[in-house]
């Protein structure tokens, strides 16, 4: 690392550490804790994780560490939040998932940093996606989205998100390879991707995880748009119009065929049904109002008595204890992470498409959670990336953030191929 | 690079769209936070005052603090925040009473949120007491400005005593009867008279005369009884109105110059829901008030004629009966819209929500209003002894309810007085068993308001 790079690294680390210490300091004065020892344990976990990550990152030679610093920044803020709802005590479970998220981030980075290599592994992602779909079909059951392993549960549909992003991204370079089917010039890879999204939609419907549907659809549509932008990959107007009509028809059919519990959520008046279907949202809004701009203080909230306060209602929980201002700051940090590719653009179209897919997944999930819990749109029960509790979600988000980092610090080297035929094909891209 | 930039534009669009959504969310929270808190168990509510600064609602009120039954005359109108009564001023405007702001949070002490009403608690209480053991309701308002001055309904409750024994509460205790439809009796003839003037015109209507012999066999073969079994003889419209003669009005409805379609049009213009089973409401500071309703099917049909006379299926709220009086006495055909809230103050004591006088669209023609006003003023002279001291326009009504087992007495009207422009409606239930009369209540009310 160069001298200026080292200075920047130290300044960034100092900033992250200072911010976390400031939050812990605020908890010391305004927080609700039984004994200082609980706060000390939490502080040690936060500061310890900061230091370990700062050191661990040095083993990875990257062009920039911006997202990495922001990731540890947001993850430890998340740990502080999750350890403060309803009373300060270290949330060991969340600490473990934060660490898992950081590890997944490294894996995501390693996997995606070389765009040429990863595009040769297209079939592997098809298989991985297929395996996840199969696991949902065989292990979760038709009314569940969880696989119970006894000591913990996992939500396989979460892992489907990065896998589907990779499916959408790895074949982006195939756009010139069109074949004529009926009167349309179609890229077979696009059909495969469309088949996947239809399969995923059916699967989500089957296991009653409709909340995640918009995320998958957004990933697919962003992938589609990215393909439209691909050089010389012009899609005919006929196809675009047909696609839009098809999506519209499918959306209408989905609303008509939606099960009663979904329709109830689509059209519920939360204040006239504030003890029934509107209970969680009305309590969330009351909590936000109670928190005001600067909150009631860590651990002083009441929303922790409501189901899903730490997952689906996490934005309201933060607003209540830390205030709307702080909650907005946290959302802003996530948005800045997502906006990093705009400041430091990827140097390959693969990484640009990857950034689009990750951004769409994160933005849609945040929108569904925050706007849903605040009664601006139907309440679907998805998580806010990195903030909500949940191992599957944290690991997945970490992995997707690794994909984003890969676009910031890519590796350019030709893939090692054994026969000349393959080499030619890779070079042609 | 160009294609990469195009792809990244999508990222910009997504992020900007999300930011736009967040801005909308913050604005929504800012605007509605008071409303959310009002649904919370922790809400800190301010006070409701009458026009003279008398307290009408205090969430911390106890009988010891204010005296026994202090709020009973406004119990089912002002209400409380306990959720038992949902169509009350407090229930419908609870967010305005919140001692809360998003930046300050809840302000338990020192918060200045309040609602200042147009009610005169002194007069209201006197009117309430004037009912004695009887039940019913009374409402009066300033027909120039729309300020509701008196609005009381019996039986009522003292909200400071809570709802223990709610199962034993008398029917109607938890609602203000002023806002709900009742059989209007002959006060309905005001509406029919207004319609007749609009359909026939003054000259033709005054030229009409019908004979009452105590009972009238209508063209459908049904008997229409008159309260005067000896009959009123041959009368014109003014005499029939003063006599409140049922056979006259039945014949008027049957008259070929008074087509039913035209009556329906006039009624609907006045706000009646005609031949419509759906309950409809209008709004007074959030409080729902039932719209008038009736069933009119055939000019020769007994129920149609009976409806135009004010019996049977016709239902009109005392509030609505009073509002039409404003259109008559102002000679505009437009109702002065009523309000209870004069202004509010927020948690910092800043005044807002100033009430403005507003008028409805024209619900009947000014010409018909002038004629009906004159007839009502003429009729008012008959009350010069029982309601002395006022230039009064009035119409009485006797409503048969419970299949004629009981009769309610109604009085609706106005006084012509520049200083006290008051329109009113009084409903006295089961008048035969009542120790008082509706005229006495009106007199008490006007005396209290014009003190």
**Separation CA B73–CA B155 (nearest Å):** 9
Residue A180, burial from CB neighbour count under 10 angstroms (0-12, 13-18, 19+): exposed
- The answer to whether residue B27 neighbours chain A at the CB level (below 8 Å) is no
Q: What is the mean pLDDT of residues B276-280?
A: 78
> Residue B12: its pLDDT value, please?
93
**Separation CA A410–CA A398 (nearest Å):** 17
Q: What is the DSSP letter of A426?
A: H
- The answer to whether residue B4 neighbours chain A at the CB level (below 8 Å) is yes
Whether A324 contacts A292, CB under 8 Å: yes
Nearest CA distance, B20 vs chain A (angstrom): 11
Supply B264's token pair.
Answer: 């329906």
Supply B188's token pair.
Answer: 């309905």
Task: Give whichever of A92-106, A149-163, B62-76 has the largest mean pLDDT.
Answer: A92-106
Q: What is the mean pLDDT of residues B408-417?
A: 94
- Verify whether the Cβ–Cβ distance A289 to B11 is below 8 Å: no
Residue B250 predicted with pLDDT over 80: yes
In a domain, B328, yes or no: yes
- Chain A hits for B10, CB-CB cut-off 8 Å, are 222, 225-226, 229, 356, 359-360
- Chain A hits for B15, CB-CB cut-off 8 Å, are 335, 338-339, 359, 363
> Residue A423: its pLDDT value, please?
44
- The residue written with tokens 């168990």 in the block is B41
Please list the helix, strand and coil fractions of chain B in percent, rounded to the nearest 5, in that order.
40, 20, 40
In a domain, B38, yes or no: no
Task: Name the β-bridge partners of B32.
Answer: none
Q: What is the mean pLDDT of residues A298-325?
A: 93
Q: What is the mean pLDDT of residues A22-31?
A: 92
Residue A230 predicted with pLDDT over 80: no
Q: What is the mean pLDDT of residues A292-315?
A: 92
pLDDT bracket for residue A417 (50, 70, 90) = low
Task: Name the β-bridge partners of B415.
Answer: B392
What is the 3-state secondary structure of A105-146? HHHHHHHHCCHHHHHCCHHHHHHHHHHHHHHHHHHHCCCCCC
Residue B35 predicted with pLDDT over 70: yes
Q: Which residues contact B120 (CB under 8 A, 6 or more apart)?
A: B50, B51, B52, B149, B150, B448, B449
Out of A179-188, B133-142, B319-328, B329-338, pick the least confident: A179-188
- The answer to whether residue B102 neighbours chain A at the CB level (below 8 Å) is yes
**Separation CA A312–CA A389 (nearest Å):** 9
What are the backbone dihedrals phi and psi of residue B45, each rounded to the nearest 5 degrees, phi first?
-100, 145
N-to-C CA span, chain B: 86
Helix (H) or strand (E) holding A227: helix A213-229
Q: What is the mean pLDDT of residues A7-23?
A: 94
Buried b (16+ CB within 10 A) or exposed e, A36-58: eebbebbbebbeebbeebbeebe
- Verify whether the Cβ–Cβ distance A345 to B5 is below 8 Å: yes
- Verify whether the Cβ–Cβ distance B29 to A271 is below 8 Å: no
Supply B117's token pair.
Answer: 């009403």
Report CA B261 to chain centroid distance, whole Å: 27
Of A274, A286, A293, the CB nearest to B37: A286
Q: What is the mean pLDDT of residues B88-100?
A: 90
**Separation CA A318–CA A284 (nearest Å):** 10
Task: Give whichever of A120-124, A204-208, B354-358 has the largest mean pLDDT.
Answer: B354-358
- The answer to whether residue A371 neighbours chain B at the CB level (below 8 Å) is yes
> Residue A4: its pLDDT value, please?
73
Report CA B378 to chain centroid distance, whole Å: 25
Q: What is the ipTM of this complex?
A: 0.89
- Boundaries of domain holding B233: 185-339+346-449
- Chain A hits for B18, CB-CB cut-off 8 Å, are 335, 363, 366-367
Q: Which residues contact A33 (CB under 8 A, 6 or more apart)?
A: A27, A39, A87, A88, A89, A299
Supply B388's token pair.
Answer: 């002395």
> Residue B412: its pLDDT value, please?
96
Helix (H) or strand (E) holding B412: strand B406-415
Closest C-alpha among A359, A4, A329 to residue B9? A359
- The answer to whether residue B28 neighbours chain A at the CB level (below 8 Å) is yes
Rg over CA atoms, chain A: 23
Number of domains in chain B: 1
In a domain, B24, yes or no: no
In a domain, B66, yes or no: no
In a domain, B438, yes or no: yes
In a domain, B146, yes or no: no
Closest C-alpha among B106, B145, B124 to residue B49? B124
∠ CA(B368), CA(B374), CA(B375), 5° rounding?
A: 90
Q: What is the mean pLDDT of residues B169-191?
A: 94
Residue A144 predicted with pLDDT over 70: no
CB pairs under 8 A between A and B: 113
Q: What is the mean pLDDT of chain A?
A: 86
What are the backbone dihedrals phi and psi of residue B236, each rounded to the nearest 5 degrees, phi first?
-95, -175
**Separation CA B258–CA A209 (nearest Å):** 65
pTM: 0.72
In a domain, B46, yes or no: no
> Residue A142: its pLDDT value, please?
61
Q: What is the mean pLDDT of residues B82-87?
A: 89
> The domain that contains B350 carries what CATH number?
3.40.710.10
Nearest CA distance, A333 vs chain B (angstrom): 12
- Chain A hits for B1, CB-CB cut-off 8 Å, are 345
- The answer to whether residue B33 neighbours chain A at the CB level (below 8 Å) is yes
Closest C-alpha among A103, A193, A208, A191 to residue A155? A208
In a domain, B286, yes or no: yes
pLDDT bracket for residue A190 (50, 70, 90) = confident
Residues B339-361 have pLDDT tens digits of 999 999 988 889 989 999 999 99
Of A296, A359, A376, the CB nearest to B14: A359
Whether A60 contacts A109, CB under 8 Å: yes
Whether A142 contacts A115, CB under 8 Å: no
Strands of B406-415's sheet in order across: B148-154, B136-142, B422-428, B406-415, B392-401
Catalogue the E-assigned strands of B88-231.
100-101, 105-106, 114-117, 136-142, 148-154, 210-212, 215-217, 223-225
pLDDT bracket for residue A95 (50, 70, 90) = very high
Is A323 or A63 the better-scoring residue by pLDDT? A323
- Verify whether the Cβ–Cβ distance B40 to A289 is below 8 Å: yes
The full length of chain A comes to 429
Quick one: what percent of chain A has pLDDT higher than 90?
A: 47
Residues A233-264 have pLDDT tens digits of 555 667 667 877 888 888 788 778 777 766 76
Whether B45 contacts B59, CB under 8 Å: yes
Supply A240's token pair.
Answer: 């675009």
Residue A428 predicted with pLDDT over 50: no
> Residue A372: its pLDDT value, please?
92
What is the 3-state secondary structure of A11-51? HHHHHHHHHHHHHHHHHHHHCCCCCHHHHHHHHHHHHHHHH
Q: Would you tell me the crossing angle of helices A122-135 and A156-170 to the nearest 10 degrees?
A: 160
Closest C-alpha among A414, A411, A428 to residue A111? A411
Buried b (16+ CB within 10 A) or exposed e, A338-362: bbbbeeebbbbbbbbbbbbbbbbbb
- The answer to whether residue A49 neighbours chain B at the CB level (below 8 Å) is no
CA distances for B430 relative to B59, B386, B394, B400, angstroms: 35, 20, 21, 9
Q: What is the mean pLDDT of chain B?
A: 92
Cα atoms found within 13 Å of the Cα of residue A217, Cβ hemisphere only: 15
């Amino acid at each position: 690392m160069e001298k200026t790079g080292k200075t920047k690294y130290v300044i960034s680390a100092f900033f992250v550490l200072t911010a976390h210490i400031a939050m812990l300091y605020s908890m010391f004065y305004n927080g609700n804790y039984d004994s200082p020892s609980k706060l000390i344990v939490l502080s040690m976990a936060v500061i310890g994780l900061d230091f370990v990550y700062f050191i661990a990152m040095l083993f990875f030679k990257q062009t920039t560490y911006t997202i990495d610093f922001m990731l540890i920044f947001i993850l430890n803020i998340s740990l502080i939040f999750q350890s403060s709802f309803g009373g300060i005590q270290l949330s060991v479970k969340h600490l473990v998932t934060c660490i898992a998220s950081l590890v997944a981030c490294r894996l995501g980075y390693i996997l995606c940093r070389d765009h040429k290599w990863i595009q040769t592994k297209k079939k592997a992602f098809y298989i991985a996606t297929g395996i996840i779909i199969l696991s949902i079909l065989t292990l979760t059951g038709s009314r569940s989205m969880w696989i119970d392993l006894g000591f913990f549960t996992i939500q396989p549909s979460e892992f489907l998100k990065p896998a589907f992003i990779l499916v959408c991204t790895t074949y982006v370079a195939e756009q010139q390879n069109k074949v004529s089917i009926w009167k349309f010039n179609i890229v077979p890879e696009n059909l495969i991707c469309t088949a996947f999204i239809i399969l995923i939609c059916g699967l989500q419907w089957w296991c009653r995880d409709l909340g995640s549907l918009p995320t998958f659809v957004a990933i697919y549509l962003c992938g589609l748009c990215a393909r439209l932008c691909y050089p010389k990959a012009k899609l005919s107007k006929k196809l675009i119009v047909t696609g839009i009509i098809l999506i519209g028809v499918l959306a209408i059919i989905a609303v008509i065929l939606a099960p009663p519990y979904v329709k109830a959520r689509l059209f519920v008046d939360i204040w006239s049904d504030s003890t029934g279907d509107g209970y969680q949202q009305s309590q969330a809004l009351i909590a936000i109002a109670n928190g005001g701009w600067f909150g009631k203080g860590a651990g002083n909230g009441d929303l922790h008595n409501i189901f899903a306060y730490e997952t689906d209602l996490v934005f309201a929980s933060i607003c209540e204890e830390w205030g709307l201002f702080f909650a907005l700051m946290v959302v802003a940090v996530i948005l800045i992470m997502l906006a990093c590719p705009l400041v430091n653009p990827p140097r390959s179209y693969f990484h640009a498409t990857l950034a689009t897919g990750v951004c769409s997944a994160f933005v849609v999930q945040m929108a569904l959670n925050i706007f849903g819990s605040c009664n601006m749109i139907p309440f679907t029960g998805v998580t806010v990336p990195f903030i909500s509790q949940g191992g599957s979600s944290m690991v997945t988000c970490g992995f997707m953030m690794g994909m984003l980092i890969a676009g910031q610090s890519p590796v350019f080297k030709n893939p090692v191929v054994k026969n000349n035929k393959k080499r030619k094909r890779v070079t042609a891209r | 690079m160009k294609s990469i930039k195009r792809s990244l534009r999508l990222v910009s669009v997504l992020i900007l769209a999300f930011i736009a959504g967040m801005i909308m969310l913050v604005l929504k929270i800012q605007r509605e936070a008071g409303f959310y808190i009002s649904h919370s168990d922790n809400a800190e509510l301010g006070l409701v005052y009458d026009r003279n600064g008398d307290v009408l609602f205090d969430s911390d009120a106890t009988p010891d603090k204010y005296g026994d039954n202090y709020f009973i005359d406004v119990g089912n109108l002002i209400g409380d925040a306990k959720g038992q009564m949902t169509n009350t001023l407090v229930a419908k405007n609870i967010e305005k009473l919140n001692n809360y702001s998003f930046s300050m949070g809840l302000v338990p002490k020192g918060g200045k949120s309040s609602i200042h009403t147009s009610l005169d608690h002194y007069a209201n209480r006197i009117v309430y007491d004037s009912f004695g053991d009887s039940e019913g309701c009374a409402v009066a308002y300033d027909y120039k400005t729309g300020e509701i001055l008196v609005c009381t309904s019996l039986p009522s409750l003292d909200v400071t005593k809570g709802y223990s024994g709610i199962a034993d509460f008398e029917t109607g205790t938890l609602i203000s009867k002023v806002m709900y439809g009742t059989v209007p009796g002959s006060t309905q003839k005001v509406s029919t008279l207004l319609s007749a003037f609009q359909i026939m015109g003054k000259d033709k209507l005054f030229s009409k005369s019908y004979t009452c012999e105590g009972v009238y066999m209508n063209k459908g073969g049904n008997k229409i009884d008159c309260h005067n079994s000896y009959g009123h003889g041959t009368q014109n419209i003014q005499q029939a109105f003063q006599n409140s003669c049922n056979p006259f009005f039945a014949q008027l409805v049957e008259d070929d110059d008074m087509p039913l379609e035209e009556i329906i049009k006039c009624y609907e213009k006045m706000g009646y829901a005609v031949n419509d089973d759906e309950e409809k409401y209008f709004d007074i500071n959030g409080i729902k008030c039932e719209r008038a309703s009736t069933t009119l099917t055939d000019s020769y049909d007994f129920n149609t004629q009976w409806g135009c006379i004010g019996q049977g299926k016709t239902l009109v709220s005392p509030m609505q009966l009073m509002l039409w009086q404003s259109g008559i006495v102002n000679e505009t055909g437009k109702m002065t819209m009523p309000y209870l809230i004069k202004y509010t103050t927020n948690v910092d004591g800043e005044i807002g929500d100033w009430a403005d006088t507003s008028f409805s669209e024209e619900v009947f023609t000014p010409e018909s209003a002038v004629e009906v006003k004159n007839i009502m003023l003429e009729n008012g002279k008959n009350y010069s002894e029982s309601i002395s001291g006022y230039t009064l326009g009035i119409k009485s009504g006797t409503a048969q309810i419970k299949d004629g087992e009981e009769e309610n007495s109604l009085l609706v009207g106005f006084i012509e007085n520049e200083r006290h422009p008051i329109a009113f409606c009084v409903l006295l239930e089961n008048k035969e068993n009542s120790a008082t009369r509706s005229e006495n209540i009106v007199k008490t009310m006007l005396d209290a308001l014009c003190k």
